[in-house]
Structure 1
């Protein structure tokens, strides 16, 4: 009888320790999950902050801003991008940014998406112009070059419309260029 009671005691002890080890492992797994969540918190909060912003608020690269500005000027003609305007924008990107054909096409497609998702372009043009003018990477020559790029795009389908001229004027005013 003592042997049976001893065996039963050993089985109960093994079961209790197994259960305790399982609970400890589960606790460590939960602790690791909490640590991972805490470690990713800054990235998640940054993403939520950026996701709350839209369109031009996310732009940080002056080349991207310039491409979007060119697209906005082109779309100001009538809301639709013509093949000629698209070709002119891609050529300006290739020439002034030293991009390959594929890179120019990708940037133009991205610019078209951002520009078409914006509300009327005046406020967006001001924000992008401010980004260009305040960029430490760009000097006065690049600011003037962008003006010429915008003019070239506005004249792709003939004389610029009033809406296109209005966007050009916003950029020129923000950049301190005289017409």
Structure 2
């Protein structure tokens, strides 16, 4: 009888230790999952931040911002993009950014998509102008060149409209250019 009791005690001890080891493993697995979650948190939060933004808020490249400003200038004339305005935008991109014809068309198409997601207005022009002026990649020559590009696009369909002149003045004020 005492041998049977000893065997039951040993089997119980083995069972308890096996259960404790299994629970410890489960706890370590949960800690490992938590560590992965914490390690991925910055990436997930960056994605969520970008996912909540749209259109103009995602622009970081000054050339892209300039192309969007050109498109906003063209759309301010009448709300639609004419063939002359499109050609003027693509020509300015090719001349000043040293892009090929295909690259200029792609950038203009992207700018049209972004600009069409929001109506071109003073706030958007201020935001893009601020980004251009604060860019460490651009010097005073590039800022003046962008002014000339904006003027060329505004004059693609003849004399610029009041809305185009207002957008141009916003850029000049933000860039510190004299009119």
Measured in 1, the distance between the counterparts of 2:52 and 2:121 equals 20
Measured in 2, the distance between the counterparts of 1:24 and 1:113 equals 55
CA offset digits 1:152-172 (Å, max 9, x no partner): 111111111111111111111
**What corresponds to 1:89 in structure 2?**
89
TM-score, L = length of structure 1: 0.81
**What corresponds to 2:7 in structure 1?**
none
TM-score, L = length of structure 2: 0.81
Q: In the superposition, relative to structure 1, how do residues 14 and 98 fare at CA in structure 2: closer, same or farther (>3 Å)?
A: farther
Deviates more, 1:35-44 or 1:140-149: 35-44
Q: In the superposition, relative to structure 1, how do residues 95 and 17 fare at CA in structure 2: closer, same or farther (>3 Å)?
A: farther
| 1:137 maps onto 2:144 in alignment | no
Measured in 2, the distance between the counterparts of 1:83 and 1:22 equals 71
Q: In the superposition, relative to structure 1, how do residues 101 and 23 fare at CA in structure 2: closer, same or farther (>3 Å)?
A: farther
Shift of 1:68: 0.5
Q: In the superposition, relative to structure 1, how do residues 15 and 82 fare at CA in structure 2: closer, same or farther (>3 Å)?
A: farther
The 3-state SS of whatever aligns with 1:159 is coil
Shift of 1:122: 0.5
Matches within 5 A, 1:141-156: 141-156=141-156
Measured in 2, the distance between the counterparts of 1:170 and 1:82 equals 23
Measured in 2, the distance between the counterparts of 1:25 and 1:34 equals 14
Q: In the superposition, relative to structure 1, how do residues 20 and 95 fare at CA in structure 2: closer, same or farther (>3 Å)?
A: farther
For structure 1, the residue ranges without an aligned partner over 5 or more in a row are: 1-11
The 3-state SS of whatever aligns with 1:104 is helix
The 3-state SS of whatever aligns with 2:78 is coil
Measured in 2, the distance between the counterparts of 1:108 and 1:24 equals 59
Q: How big is the alpha-carbon RMSD for the aligned residues of Structure 1 and Structure 2?
A: 2.6
Q: Is the 8 A contact 2:76 2:120 kept in 1?
A: no
**What corresponds to 1:116 in structure 2?**
116
Q: Is the 8 A contact 2:72 2:120 kept in 1?
A: no
